[in-house]
Amino acid sequence: MVRKFAMKSVDLKRDSIVRLFFYYFLPALFSMLSMSTHAIVDGFFVAHALGENTVAALGITWPVFPMLVACELLFAIGGSSLISYYLGKGDIQGAKKIFSSIIYFVLILGLCISVVLFLWTREIALFLGASIQIEKMVVDYLEIIFLGAFIMFLHPVLDMFVVNDKRPVLAMSSMIIAALGNVIFNYIFLFVMDLGIRASALATILGNTLAIVILLSHFVQKKGDLSFVRNFSLKDVLISAKNGIPASVSEMSAGIVMLLYNVTLMQAIGERGVIIYTVTMYGGIIFFTILLSIAQGIQPISSFNYGANQLARVKEVYRFGLFFTLAVSFVVYGLFYMFGEEFARAFLDSKRAGLRDVELISDIAFVMKIWFVAYLALGINMVSSIFLQSIQRPWGALLITLCYTIILTPIFLPLLKQYFGEIGIWSAYPLASVITIFVASIVLRYEFKKGVFAK
């Protein structure tokens, strides 16, 4: 059934938007959920093999990952939109040149960044707020992650380009294999070989490596429109980077928000606060991934039809994306609202945690109910932002992203902390996300009335 679904051709100009959306959304959902499980699997195995303090150590490292992802999204998102645009115009050779240039550049950039980060691992760990108790664990974990950073750069870029080459099921399959590999490697390294926290990081790198091998085979064997050519255009790389700025800043600002929260919680509550935040964000990864998959599901459709000058159809794609993300957001929020404690227990040994802190599990569930209000609004903001990127309007997308991250959250966090204490800390990000909806509505209203759709 999956094979039949994968091989059946689609017409981005004429097929129903619902069919096209699910053609891209479902593989993207499985792919991105599989990718997101790397962090969740690491947390699960490390917590049960090495204890609760390692959960805090992993939580301290979290801001690093959005920063790494931000670098690759600069080229993956912008390049995907540009490649879809050229394919929509029928310029396959132009799409190949953009694809090849980005892959060559990302590989070289990733290797350089890997070396630099590895040499500064301890300084980065201290900057992230690692306390004396968890500093060594943070350094051990990050050293392996930094050595394999170039692999983590290349994997998502290849994955998105495979999706744009009309092979979303292949992208999904590679992600699932990577996730399964990560589970197997974590189990062997931590429970069988007892290699410590470094092994968990190594399992993540090896899982990504498996996915890269699978994805590269598609392009090397020329199974789609995209393949490698002996051509490099720095101009194309820079244009892609310009279009990818909003997505890159979105991830980077997410890292900044995580850093702000880690530092604030360490000062106000200590390691306990970081543990609550980390487990909450394990749930947040799932929620965020679902919403991002919805936004990514509309991206190829809107980009292609924008390139084909089908503007009425582009509007219809956006409206469908908004409706679907709202419906899904409320369902997922309801599930976490009802089963928050059960989710937290999956990461913390309830018996051992209960002896030390009888309220830890219930406090995590309570924080989830507050924190995940942000995601009810975030779906609207993300669909709006990625939609704007897909129609070559990166600056409106950037404004939306900045509002709920590095503009409003840093303002609300100290303010609400001062007046409402811990409740205020957890409420700052949700409030920023809700207010950003109004900014998004203003930007989209302009585009519909006076911008690109008014032409």
For the chain, the average pLDDT equals 83
Q: What is the per-residue pLDDT for 404?
A: 86
Interval 435-447: pLDDT, tens? 999 999 999 888 8
Q: What is the mean pLDDT of residues 122-140?
A: 86
* Predicted TM-score of the model (pTM): 0.76
Q: Which residue would you say has higher pLDDT here, 261 or 390?
A: 261
Residue 9: band (very low, low, confident or very high) from pLDDT cuts 50, 70, 90: low
3-class SS letters over the chain: CHHHHHHCCCCCCCCCHHHHHHHHHHHHHHHHHHHHHHHHHHHHHHHHHHCCHHHHHHHHHCCHHHHHHHHHHHHHHHHHHHHHHHHHHCCHHHHHHHHHHHHHHHHHHHHHHHHHHHHCHHHHHHHCCCCCCCHHHHHHHHHHHHHCHHHHHHHHHHHHHHHHCCCHHHHHHHHHHHHHHHHHHHHHHHHHCCCCHHHHHHHHHHHHHHHHHHHHHHHHCCCCCCCCCCCCCHHHHHHHHHHHHHHHHHHHHHHHHHHHHHHHHHHHCCHHHHHHHHHHHHHHHHHHHHHHHHHHHHHHHHHHHHHCCCHHHHHHHHHHHHHHHHHHHHHHHHHHHHHHHHHHHCCCCHHHHHHHCCCHHHHHHHHHHHHCHHHHHHHHHHHHHHHHHHCCCHHHHHHHHHHHHHHCHHHHHHHHHHHHHHHHHHHHHHHHHHHHHHHHHHHHHHHHHCCHHHC
Percentage of the residues of the chain whose pLDDT score is greater than 90? 23
pLDDT at residue 4 is higher than 50: no
Percentage of the residues of the chain whose pLDDT score is greater than 70? 92
Q: Which residue would you say has higher pLDDT here, 350 or 123?
A: 123
Q: What is the mean pLDDT of residues 180-188?
A: 87
pLDDT at residue 451 is higher than 70: no
pLDDT at residue 308 is higher than 50: yes
Q: Which residue would you say has higher pLDDT here, 60 or 73?
A: 60
Q: What is the per-residue pLDDT for 326?
A: 94
DSSP label at residue 254: H
Angle at 276 between CA 273 and CA 281, to 5 degrees: 125
pLDDT at residue 200 is higher than 90: no
Residue 31: band (very low, low, confident or very high) from pLDDT cuts 50, 70, 90: low
Residue 322: band (very low, low, confident or very high) from pLDDT cuts 50, 70, 90: very high
Query: Out of 150-154, 210-214, 229-233, which region has the weakest mean confidence (pLDDT)?
Result: 229-233
Interval 344-390: pLDDT, tens? 888 776 544 444 566 888 899 999 999 999 999 999 999 998 888 77
Q: What is the per-residue pLDDT for 301?
A: 86
Q: What is the per-residue pLDDT for 334?
A: 94
Q: What is the per-residue pLDDT for 239?
A: 81
